[in-house]
Structure 1
Amino acid sequence: MIQLDVDPELLRQTDEQRQLRDVLREFLAQTCGPEEVREQSAGPRGFDRSLWDRLAGEIGVHGLALPEEYGGAGGSFRELAVALEETGRVLCPAPLLSSVVLAAHALLASGDRRACERWLPGIATGTLTATVAGFLHSGTVVAERGPDGWLLRGEADFVPDGEGADLLLVAARAPDGPRLFACESDAGGVDRTPRRLLDPTRRQALLRFRGAPAVPVGDAGEAPGVVEGVLDAGRTGLTAEQLGGCAHALDALLEFVVQRTQFGRQIGSFQAVKHRLADLLVEVEAARSASTYAALCLADPDAGEPRVAAGAAAVVCSAAYRRAVAEYVQFHGGIGFTWEHPAHLYVRRARADEALFGTSDDHRLRLAGFLGLVGDRSQVVDRAASHPEH
């Protein structure tokens, strides 16, 4: 179902969501500034374990969208999106997107109650970090039956937070069809090679499986549907992070233009500056609407088609983030181009996010298919390029 008319009241923030945002913003302001982000990203884990534990224990971020029967709070993706927006605002390098969105959603979507009971409580409490392999990029992982169970062989590249994840949910080819498998880090048989990336705050790794013991999750042949659903959840979660980055850039600009003076005046009083900031505000608010609607559709499919909303939000939020970080750097002049200033961290994150779950052209092509538009690839891309606002 493609919903065109949406009640604006459904997109409003609830009191509980507003309180969650206030608590998270205050907490992250004290624990996750630019210097902390640099230090955590460069550490052996890529994130601060104590911060991770506090997010789970003191605020309950990890279990926000997980059912109560698996140790979660029983909320919806709307609440989780608020948390992702706030962590995206400060570029918190914790593996929330991989563990709490991708891996947790894969377990829930599999319908495998035993697997959910075994691993979701650990994800909810933060004692278990997890990720998915062979989802974002097609891998060459093959599952075969060994004397004591299933074994995985092959490679999966650019696995988010794959270097240190305790649990790997792997999409693999099995004799009875594509399947999803769970592989625990202490089982052995997996070589992990970190990739050097543009964005140091979101680590990825190449995984090589050498007869790694694994447990099947869900039924045979259902993996493609699970993968597609997980990717749409990932796209929706990513747009919330992008929205947070946009909001930070805009707030930083507003603070800067009232402090910086030229010719005896605040530069924020110049009409050209006002116009640029107003244009950016419009883009950020469009991104907010698109991301919020995508989260609503994921929480309640009756509100609209989740895959359509996720694709549209990915296009809008990627463009808004690109514009926001460009203005972030340019308004700050010479200091904005230095490594000492945090702007470059947001530029890196914005550029990397644009390709994490597919480029804007990829999303437009998928949307064209969902909407029943017929035409070859070049025609769709040309149309999308000539109308970027769509």
Structure 2
Amino acid sequence: MHPRHPEIDPHLLSETEEQRELRTVLRDFFTEVSGPEDARKHQATPRGYDGTVWARLAGEIGVHGLAIPEEFGGSGYTFAELAVALEESGRTLYCAPLLPTVVLAAHALLYSGDRQACERYLPRIADGTLTATVAGFHEDAPAAGPEAGVQAEHGATGWVLRGAADFVLDGAGADVILVRAETPDGTRLFACEPTTVTCVRTPRRVLDETRRQALVEFRGAPAALVGGSGEVTAALDAGRAALAAEQVGGSGHALDATVEFVGQRRQFGRPIGSFQAVKHRLADVLVALEAARSASAYATACAALASPQLPVAASAAAAVCSETFRLATAEYVQLHGGIGFTWEHPAHLYVRRARSSEVLFGTADQNRTRLAELIGLAPRSAA
């Protein structure tokens, strides 16, 4: 379904006029509907986000269908437009499940090549009426006890799933879960529409409560086979590229908010932003942010074109953008002084998002190791 391109045109690393207009619309939208107070408010709700805003984002702006082909109910744009949306959502810590639904699940379906599954689920993802996620995609995911891992077996009426997957994004609420499961013939991809009878979903207490995760236990859950073996790695690399864009957005907010504060906060009769030590620290964040933007832009271009360079670009972006987000949020707290350490200030929410994001698809060190293997600087691991 995705054409292969051997090289990336440098022009694709710059935003088009249409993408800039989309960014303006989205920044206004997210500023209106999402922010620290909204994140705190929705933490106490069953789904963790505002369903009305989710529907508006899909219906009024069409974010959910940006990277979905028109034949499956989307608008037929590319991952580049979706990355703009993810970056802007990251600036305001938008807490709805864009990453698991619109990126991971949607791209797992597209990469699977299963037209029937795409026709069944993608139109509802595009119009915002279906949430979805993936499970079992990480071989090195935290164990869910002695029954960790998911197995698929033939039941009386078709395939059924047994086992467990832990720390599944939006696992407690997603309408559909795409599951990587072991079968007698090897690893395959399945679509499961969970019910309370055959699927037990237990929310996990996690550091970043704006991005919910859950333990999902499959107890003979009916499932449908999707495609062949399923291009799980490609979907994860799309997730890495998407998360990198989101981290760039969060880092940008942290820097902008800190620059604004140090320009207003005064000590010894002058703004603290005029002190050389403060300038140096903020300059370091800016340099790191520009590097992250470049890494994210390249990963986005590779994802948009389904380039064979996507694994390299995605792992590089994951490492660079994770460390930039960590640095930016650390300075966000430190340079706000005492107030930056309080529960009332939004800085800690960005710190939580940064710390949880940097381990979501492998740590910076793990992605560097993978990158070294991909480009031949280190032997490939046995896995």
Please indicate, yes or no, whether the TM-score normalized by the shorter chain is above 0.5.
yes
Which among 182, 185, 198 is matched to residue 176 of structure 1? 185
Deviates more, 1:133-142 or 1:38-47: 133-142
Residue 246 of structure 1: aligned partner = 251
Q: Distance in 2 between matches of 1:180 and 1:188?
A: 22
Residue 145 of structure 2: aligned partner = none
Residue 330 of structure 2: aligned partner = 326
Q: Distance in 2 between matches of 1:170 and 1:7?
A: 35
Paired residue secondary structure (1:340)? coil
Which among 178, 198, 211 is matched to residue 202 of structure 1? 211
Is the 1:155–1:209 contact (alpha carbons within 8 Å) kept by the matching residues of 2?
yes
Is residue 10 from structure 1 mapped to residue 19 from structure 2 by the alignment?
no
Q: Which one-letter code corresponds to 1:57 in the other structure?
A: G
User: C-alpha displacement at 1:227, in angstroms?
Assistant: 1.1
Is residue 136 from structure 1 mapped to residue 138 from structure 2 by the alignment?
yes
Q: Within 5 A, what are the aligned runs for 1:7-46?
A: 8-46=10-48
- Consecutive aligned runs of 4 or more in structure 1 exceeding 4 Å deviation: 5-8
Residue 314 of structure 1: aligned partner = 318
Paired residue secondary structure (1:135)? coil
Of Structure 1 and Structure 2, the greater helix share is in: 1
Q: Deviations over 1:311-349 (max 9, x none)?
A: 001111011011100100000000000110000000001
Which among 274, 284, 291 is matched to residue 279 of structure 1? 284
Q: Summarize the Cα distance change of 1:268–1:125 in structure 2 as closer, same or farther, 3 Å threshold.
A: same
Residue 152 of structure 1: aligned partner = 161
Q: Distance in 1 between matches of 2:258 and 2:95?
A: 23
Q: Deviations over 1:273-307 (max 9, x none)?
A: 222211111110110010011000111245x6000
Q: Summarize the Cα distance change of 1:188–1:126 in structure 2 as closer, same or farther, 3 Å threshold.
A: farther
Q: Which one-letter code corresponds to 2:183 in the other structure?
A: A
Residue 385 of structure 1: aligned partner = none
User: C-alpha displacement at 1:361, in angstroms?
Assistant: 1.2
Q: Distance in 1 between matches of 2:370 and 2:117?
A: 31
Is the 1:136–1:356 contact (alpha carbons within 8 Å) kept by the matching residues of 2?
no
Residue 218 of structure 1: aligned partner = 227
Residue 163 of structure 1: aligned partner = 172
Residue 114 of structure 1: aligned partner = 116
Gaps of 5+ in 2: 142-147
Q: Distance in 1 between matches of 2:10 and 2:44?
A: 42
Is the 2:99–2:242 contact (alpha carbons within 8 Å) kept by the matching residues of 1?
yes
Q: Which one-letter code corresponds to 2:203 in the other structure?
A: P
Q: Which one-letter code corresponds to 1:241 in the other structure?
A: E
User: C-alpha displacement at 1:7, in angstroms?
Assistant: 5.6
Q: Distance in 2 between matches of 1:154 and 1:79?
A: 37
User: C-alpha displacement at 1:178, in angstroms?
Assistant: 1.2
Q: Distance in 1 between matches of 2:204 and 2:363?
A: 20
Paired residue secondary structure (2:43)? helix
Residue 232 of structure 2: aligned partner = 227
Gaps of 5+ in 1: 378-390
Is the 2:5–2:306 contact (alpha carbons within 8 Å) kept by the matching residues of 1?
no
Residue 364 of structure 1: aligned partner = 368
Is the 1:199–1:348 contact (alpha carbons within 8 Å) kept by the matching residues of 2?
yes
Q: Within 5 A, what are the aligned runs for 1:286-305?
A: 286-302=291-307, 305=309
Is residue 374 from structure 1 mapped to residue 383 from structure 2 by the alignment?
no
Q: Distance in 1 between matches of 2:272 and 2:264?
A: 8
Q: Distance in 2 between matches of 1:187 and 1:7?
A: 49
What is the aligned residue count?
A: 371
Q: Which one-letter code corresponds to 2:295 in the other structure?
A: A
Question: Identity of aligned pairs, percent?
Answer: 65
Q: Distance in 2 between matches of 1:376 and 1:92?
A: 37
Residue 105 of structure 2: aligned partner = 103
